[in-house]
Structure 1
Amino acid sequence: MKKILILGGGFAGVDAATHLRKLNYDVTLVSNRDYFYIYPTSIWIPTHEIGFKDTCIDLNELQKAHGFNLIIDGVNKISKENNSVTLQSGKIINDYDYLIIAIGASKMKPKGVENTFSICGAPEQSLAIRDALDDLVKKGSGKIAMGFGGNPKDTSAVRGGPGFELLFNVHNMLKKKGIRDKFELTFFAPMAEPGKRMGPNALKMMATMFSKLKIKQHFGKKITHFEKDGVVFEDESKLDADLVMFIPAGDGHEIIKESDLSTNDAGFIKTDDYSCVLNEDGSLSNIYAIGDVASLEGYDWRAKQGHVAEVMAKNAAHNIHQREQNKTNFKGYNEHLNILCVMDTGNGAAFVYRDEKKAFMLPMPIFGHWLKKAWGVYCRNTKLGKIPRIPGM
């Protein structure tokens, strides 16, 4: 039985392990934490709508459900030449037939970023945002700024959606408490039209929502640095804030930048459409890179999302199996590139979709909020194999 080593316990890594176990491979998953974190539902932790544990699935439960081997440890070094992985504990693994890298991305580090919180950072950051919000609510007033940044070396590494969602949910929470008028909410971003990748109609609808909810906008100015009490821009203007939530753009993982793997300018692993890392002569290697760690090629509006990572994971499992059967019916991710999300507002949602042919945002009333809540339950139970996965999802 061929051995497959998977690095990373997120959407890409867990799905790859699940699919490969169904194909009866000997799979070992390495994760630096002992739980799978459902990032899309973490937007409700700061507003107390759900608890931290509600976003976590114990990896030991996933191991029992699917039968893969599990190592809780960080990755310290990856060597393509030596066909080896060194873990933070010092353990060296070099007896695998295939390696799947799914360790995600690092974050860009603008000056003073330690003065901000991030809903897309370490899971514990959601609790820190919650506590900071609680302090402002107790105070009874305050200025809250939320936004995201970009990576000029890789436009696919932007993740702004959770920032929009969190601010809308905070607005809704403050409104329920009857103190919304005591708070100034601002959304900021260095690009002139944040959210443009969702399409022109979505961009107009977002502007309407900001206006309706009396959320200020601060767009089109480069961020120079963050201070304890706000955001400073290239024209030396400052956005004052008691709480700043900022989602830095993704950047190549430090482990990858220090490895002998081929990367793009931003430090993401180069692969072919089938997620395989190619050898110098163009032949297939035994390494696959999936999810945020990989360079995502394609349309200008492309974005790294969980469902794209899951497509990569399923395809990688399929493509490895094809190779083991001496077949070449490989599957690529490019034809599945799209933007797809339910953008939650706390009292409703909007369905966002874009591909190469169409782009739209469909408003959804309170039903949309409960639809996303239902997706969280669906995600947990499908990962654990308790309910079947809906085809195409």
Structure 2
Amino acid sequence: MRDMKRVAVVGSGFGALSTIRELRKRDGDVEITMIAPRAELIYLPSLIWIPTGLRKPEDLRVDLSRFLLANRVKHVAARVTGLESGGRLVRIDNGDSMENDGLVIASGGRFIKRLPGIEHTIALCEGIDAAERIHVRLNTMQGGTLAFGFGPNPHEPQAVRGGPVFELLFGIDAYLRQQGRRNQFTLVFFNGSEQPGARLGERAVKKLLDAMHRREIKTYLGHKPVRFEPGKVVTEREEIDADLILFMPGMTGPEWAENSGLTLSPGGMIKADQHTLVEGTERVYVVGDSGSFPGPDWMPKQAHMADLQAAAAAQNLLNDFAGKPASATFKTELICIVDMLGKGVLVYRSPTRTLVTPPSRLLHAAKRLFEKQYLSRYRNPKPLPQRAH
């Protein structure tokens, strides 16, 4: 009889790697397999710095081979195409199916690309290639109008990526000023809401809009974009001329989830309970961007939340293996530094308090230091200490 439990972790991003770390800290024997196209982490929070040259692509790519070896994790280089048997079989794109005793889905979400003409925009968070395209365009333009915006998932308030757009906007503004070229460009920000970035809290939104005003960034608020054309953003009310459109659509769940048999939210995300257990399943958990979780509508889609959810998922899965009830939950909090290239603003939100700091050079330095420390655990891994569960 086989005693060793097999855990499959889908993905190689923040939620997946934190799940692996948390599992291995708690159990030295569980067999862990990571299913992802590449054994590579892309440090998405620093994509904002590629367009302005503060980071190069190689700075943000991390080969995970050493981390996986140090923690005795098998890597299957494949994409997931679906599930069978309630999640006990994971179908992959070579036609095979992988068995597991427990499954953690941390594959991330995908952008909703339904607006007509969206191919005329660039979405920074699609990855390094997108960030490099922005860098090239920015440094070959002699002037013009740069339009920045983001959209929602109308059925999933949590599934929006506004923070990186604010950072890209302020970062490019600062970059052009450093180059002495800002007067050659018009910067505009457009959003269908009167309060863009409301998840950050009312105080943060006011500070961000005030900062745009001080930097002479035009705003077009309260009217949704209905389509994009070459050189133009068309909203419900007006047309905005733009030589470069940087737009972040809302997010939904992975495409394969639609026919997986898993319970999905109205917005297409994988629906989980407060323990990160996928509704209606046994030992199938979800963490990070692909999940829909109970909690306030401002719950962020960010690496910090994925880390918190991963700790809960790992503990509850091991509890299940041991015949114990799920007990671990995760706290909801938003922590981010909205970077402005040379300065940063700290935004913190929990169910009981909100904090927004003035811009500070120290916070920009802190964001860079956090990146270095976070990546060192994967670039220079050490076997994790284990504790009984």
TM > 0.5 fold call = yes
Secondary structure, aligned partner of 1:159: coil
Aligned to 1:3: 6
* Partner residue of 1:112 out of 117, 121, 127: 117
Query: Do residues 17 (structure 1) and 20 (structure 2) align?
Result: yes
Report the CA distance shift for 1:220/1:387 in structure 2 as closer, same or farther (over 3 A): farther
Distance 1:80 1:309 in 2: 26
AA partner of residue 71 (structure 1): V
Distance 2:126 2:85 in 1: 28
After TM superposition, give the deviation of residue 296 of structure 1 in Å: 2.3
Distance 1:329 1:379 in 2: 29
After TM superposition, give the deviation of residue 384 of structure 1 in Å: 4.4
Aligned to 1:169: 171
Aligned to 1:331: 328
Aligned to 2:102: 98
Aligned to 2:79: 74
* Partner residue of 2:55 out of 14, 28, 50: 50
Report the CA distance shift for 1:70/1:230 in structure 2 as closer, same or farther (over 3 A): same
Secondary structure, aligned partner of 1:146: strand
Whether the 8 Å CA contact 2:15–2:288 is kept in 1: the answer is: yes
* Partner residue of 1:379 out of 363, 374, 379: 374
After TM superposition, give the deviation of residue 59 of structure 1 in Å: 2.1
Aligned to 2:260: 259
Secondary structure, aligned partner of 1:89: coil
* Partner residue of 2:315 out of 314, 318, 327: 318
Aligned to 2:185: 183
After TM superposition, give the deviation of residue 79 of structure 1 in Å: 2.2
Aligned to 1:288: 285
Within 5 A, what are the aligned runs for 1:169-318?
169-235=171-237, 237-279=238-280, 285-318=282-315
Aligned to 2:387: none
Whether the 8 Å CA contact 2:86–2:282 is kept in 1: the answer is: no
Whether the 8 Å CA contact 2:275–2:328 is kept in 1: the answer is: yes
Distance 1:344 1:259 in 2: 38
CA RMSD of aligned residues (A): 1.7
- Note the residue ranges of structure 2 that are not aligned, 5 or more in a row: 385-389
Cα-to-partner distance string for 1:33-76 (whole Å, 9 max, x where unaligned)? 33101111111011111101111111213212322111121111
Distance 2:133 2:370 in 1: 25
Report the CA distance shift for 1:330/1:82 in structure 2 as closer, same or farther (over 3 A): closer
Question: Matched residue pairs, number?
Answer: 378
Distance 1:387 1:216 in 2: 49
Q: Which moved more, 1:255-264 or 1:63-72?
A: 63-72
Distance 1:242 1:82 in 2: 46
After TM superposition, give the deviation of residue 386 of structure 1 in Å: 4.6
Aligned to 1:38: 43
Distance 1:383 1:317 in 2: 19
AA partner of residue 377 (structure 2): T
Whether the 8 Å CA contact 1:32–1:75 is kept in 2: the answer is: no
Distance 2:5 2:152 in 1: 40
Distance 2:289 2:259 in 1: 17
After TM superposition, give the deviation of residue 343 of structure 1 in Å: 0.7
Secondary structure, aligned partner of 1:246: strand
* Partner residue of 2:336 out of 313, 338, 341: 341
Cα-to-partner distance string for 1:284-325 (whole Å, 9 max, x where unaligned)? 602111111111221132222111111111111111122222
Distance 2:87 2:107 in 1: 19
AA partner of residue 247 (structure 2): F
Aligned to 1:365: 360
AA partner of residue 216 (structure 2): K
Whether the 8 Å CA contact 2:276–2:293 is kept in 1: the answer is: no
Instruction: Give identity over the alignment, percent.
Output: 30
The answer to which structure, 1 or 2, has the higher relative contact order (CA under 8 A, 6+ apart) is: 2
Report the CA distance shift for 1:159/1:19 in structure 2 as closer, same or farther (over 3 A): same
- Note the residue ranges of structure 1 that are not aligned, 5 or more in a row: none
Distance 1:312 1:219 in 2: 33
Secondary structure, aligned partner of 2:283: strand
Distance 1:219 1:264 in 2: 28
Distance 1:146 1:61 in 2: 38
Cα-to-partner distance string for 1:253-309 (whole Å, 9 max, x where unaligned)? 211112111111111111211111243xxxx60211111111122113222211111
AA partner of residue 348 (structure 2): Y
